[in-house]
Structure 1
Amino acid sequence: MNQSSSQSSNRSLPDSEYYRAFLDRDSNYDGIFFAGVRSTGIFCRPTCSARKPKLENCEFFATAQDALLAGYRPCKRCHPTDHPGSTSPLIKELITLVESDLTRRWKDQDLRARGIDPTTARRQFKSRFGMTFVAYARARRMGEGLKTIRSGERVIDAQIDSGYESGSGFRDAFSKMMGSPPSGNVAHTLKAEWIDTPLGPMIALADESALHLLEFVDRPGLETEILRLRQKHGLAILPGRTPITELLESELASYFRGQLQEFTTPLHLYGSDFQKSVLKILQQIPYGETWTYAQQSEALGNPKAIRAVARANGMNQIPILIPCHRVIGSDGKLTGYSGGLARKEWLLDLEKRRKS
């Protein structure tokens, strides 16, 4: 498994420099990076006064959200989710609520029931560290559920190591996202793998013959997407690697280095016949080029199906390999992308540079 500590394209310094700043409690780096400590499962700001671990037990993140999605919880000593030198009773209260039940999906009415204005909570979380309260709770929940995939351990091993008892906490977080271990009524089992990329971590679901899903772990709606996949097709998901994920990881690394323009990883497509035909058209868009939705519809043989094509593109579960990032608006501007427009622009720039 790729356990690289480089979690974000925004980080440009070597780990040794971040580690030096972490050891020295250098305040110049506050807000620049966060340090995850593998042995404790917490993440800290650079100025944390806690005893420092060895470099091999550290990994460094550009944002608090990256650390949360990697399965780390905030340090109670240095409070990395607060701005340096500031505290917020509301933020502390809400973080405590999240930690008390990591599997809960928080809604505005839950906050109102506690006398908390959802708008105030959203604004304070956004101003403190760049994400809303709901996004924070989701990242913490996702990180806990993905932790076992990232480490490559069995669910029960990770559960015991995390100190949770059966039927609570960690196991629930994983099971709610990925489903229970296979039983007699499961039609098929997929293996889930965590893959680090320059644009952030991704999760890959594959069996021995094909890739079924590849998504950025911070994609909104990922949990629902996986749940729909499990329920509709009778799938069970467990941590692990297959020859397909090994090939995928190798090809993604080459792609991000600008050394690969066509993927050979076998794909398993889901959806209606129309949706599958749209995905196959996407695969025909040449590397380094862009099409409009109108061009894609014409290639499909149905020029009037622009909106339907756009919807089908949005349901793509295997981005990059099925390059929906190569589709732009008729005015030449970037349009919606599940991984975010910044990632879309990055991918297009990479391909344009390498093609020329």
Structure 2
Amino acid sequence: MRDATDDTLYQALLARDPAYEGRALVGVTSTGIFCRLTCPARKPLARNCRWFADAAAARAAGFRPCLRCRPEDRPLPALVEGLLAQLQAQPDRRWTEADLAAMGHDPSTVRRQFRTHMGRSFLQMAREVRMRQGLERIAIGDDVIEAQLEAGFDSASGFRAAFRRLFGHAPQDLRQGGDLSAEWLDTPLGGMIAIVDDRSLHLLEFVDRKALPAGLQRLSRMVGGRIGLGRRPVTDRVEAALQDFFAGRDGRLDLPVTLHGTEFQRRVWTALRQVPPGETRSYGGLAADIGSPRAVRAVAAANAGNRLALVVPCHRVIGSDGKLTGYAGGLWRKERLIALEASYRDPGANRVDAGQLPL
């Protein structure tokens, strides 16, 4: 860093120059986040950049680590680094296992290494990137066809079908602003969709959850279809809380929420929010907590119907024998979340970064 001017570093940031990997980090004053210079996030203005030699210096200046490039993580395997660079260079490419094989990679090895180090497969990450591009183009007012091309889909119908599978709406239905706003948030365990209004969080789901489209459709019906794309101050609160949670700084996720469900479901979800990070409950224990010890199956059903992942911590419910039970976000995520939260039991323990936990 000593021989690099601010202008040189900024040009390296714009170019995502890997030559500066390990030599410099950028802190973005407008977001309070610090990143690698190779981070795939949208680039800040030069006046909003501060430069640091290492993560300790960035943290000392009050910046938080980016959840996309994870500047404090241990080095990734060369195979993962190389394919991430390919994904950054060609975000609109429709990657297949045949493409990986043509590059000399064993698709099963790629899948295993990405799931170990990134929490999901390379092909899943590629699909997320393409869909996110489409959402960003629609959010800033582009025509649907332009958004489709930006996302790398071969046809408008293909983009609309993928969009509808994810959101339960056609793209044009989310084009205009609404009473609620939907935004994509990155986490170490994959992308999440957050839907908020000016006061509270209404939905938070991992984008690859199979029930996400149905949950979005249900929420849309409840608010008369008035869901738009974009951020609000509550979105920023959710994102900041997720960053603190995954960095091991605060496991509470104490956010204002609107619980869309029956009276019984709301009782279960409220009880779940009282389970401290680092502790677990069985379905029977949760039923006893709400004063309905015989309603174990109903409690399990309410748990499965939760649409506020992490904030209503259904991942903290385990079997009566102590074994992990099903989790709609995937058992691999549940394992990582419980391992992360174990450190919250001991305030003096070293914190664990969810992105570094083994599967």
Q: TM-score of the superposition, structure 1-length normalised?
A: 0.63
Deviations 1:201-224 (CA, angstroms, capped at 9, x unpaired): 211111111111111112123223
Does residue 295 (structure 1) correspond to residue 285 (structure 2)? The answer is yes
Relative to structure 1, the CA distance from residue 322 to residue 348 in structure 2 (aligned partners, 3 Å threshold; closer, same or farther) is same
Relative to structure 1, the CA distance from residue 161 to residue 325 in structure 2 (aligned partners, 3 Å threshold; closer, same or farther) is closer
Relative to structure 1, the CA distance from residue 236 to residue 262 in structure 2 (aligned partners, 3 Å threshold; closer, same or farther) is same
Does residue 156 (structure 1) correspond to residue 166 (structure 2)? The answer is no
Moved over 6 A (4+): 125-128, 135-142
Paired position in structure 2 for 1:248: 238
Paired position in structure 2 for 1:198: 188
Deviations 1:21-64 (CA, angstroms, capped at 9, x unpaired): 6xxxxxxx27974435556534xxxxxxxxxxxxxxxxxxxxxx
Relative to structure 1, the CA distance from residue 343 to residue 240 in structure 2 (aligned partners, 3 Å threshold; closer, same or farther) is same
Q: Is the 8 A contact 1:292 1:327 kept in 2?
A: yes
Partners of 2:89 and 2:82 lie apart in 1 by 22
Give the drift of 1:190.
Answer: 2.0
Paired position in structure 2 for 1:111: none
Deviations 1:312-337 (CA, angstroms, capped at 9, x unpaired): 10111111111111111110111111
Q: Is the 8 A contact 2:306 2:312 kept in 1?
A: yes
| Matching residue within 67, 71, 79 for 2:99 | 79
Partners of 1:285 and 1:5 lie apart in 2 by 26
Alignment gaps of 5+ in structure 2: 1-30, 34-40, 42-65, 115-120, 347-359
Deviations 1:64-94 (CA, angstroms, capped at 9, x unpaired): xxxxxxxx52289x813x375489xxxxxxx
Q: How many residues align?
A: 270
| Matching residue within 150, 167, 174 for 2:163 | 174
Partners of 1:85 and 1:182 lie apart in 2 by 42
Q: Which moved more, 1:199-208 or 1:305-314?
A: 199-208
Paired position in structure 2 for 1:13: 75
Relative to structure 1, the CA distance from residue 144 to residue 187 in structure 2 (aligned partners, 3 Å threshold; closer, same or farther) is closer
- Amino acid corresponding to residue 346 of structure 1 in structure 2: R
Give the drift of 1:262.
Answer: 2.2
Give the drift of 1:311.
Answer: 1.0
Q: Is the 8 A contact 1:149 1:240 kept in 2?
A: no
Relative to structure 1, the CA distance from residue 155 to residue 144 in structure 2 (aligned partners, 3 Å threshold; closer, same or farther) is farther
Paired position in structure 2 for 1:41: 91
Partners of 2:104 and 2:155 lie apart in 1 by 39
Partners of 1:143 and 1:199 lie apart in 2 by 14
Q: Is the 8 A contact 2:238 2:255 kept in 1?
A: yes
Partners of 1:256 and 1:203 lie apart in 2 by 16
Partners of 2:281 and 2:74 lie apart in 1 by 32
Partners of 2:224 and 2:126 lie apart in 1 by 27
Secondary structure, counterpart of 1:203 in structure 2: strand
Relative to structure 1, the CA distance from residue 288 to residue 37 in structure 2 (aligned partners, 3 Å threshold; closer, same or farther) is closer
Give runs of aligned pairs for residues 1-356 of structure 1, distance below 5 A.
Answer: 3=41, 6=68, 12-13=74-75, 29=79, 33-37=83-87, 40-42=90-92, 73-74=94-95, 79-80=99-100, 82=101, 85=104, 129=111, 144-149=130-135, 153-154=139-140, 156-157=142-143, 159-160=145-146, 162-163=148-149, 168-171=157-160, 173-174=162-163, 177-178=166-167, 179-180=169-170, 181=172, 189-356=179-346
Relative to structure 1, the CA distance from residue 285 to residue 228 in structure 2 (aligned partners, 3 Å threshold; closer, same or farther) is same
Partners of 1:208 and 1:195 lie apart in 2 by 17
Give the drift of 1:348.
Answer: 1.5
Relative to structure 1, the CA distance from residue 30 to residue 325 in structure 2 (aligned partners, 3 Å threshold; closer, same or farther) is closer
Q: TM-score of the superposition, structure 2-length normalised?
A: 0.62
Partners of 1:30 and 1:83 lie apart in 2 by 16
Secondary structure, counterpart of 1:310 in structure 2: helix
Alignment gaps of 5+ in structure 1: 22-28, 43-71, 88-124
Partners of 1:274 and 1:263 lie apart in 2 by 22
Secondary structure, counterpart of 2:85 in structure 1: strand
Partners of 2:138 and 2:244 lie apart in 1 by 23
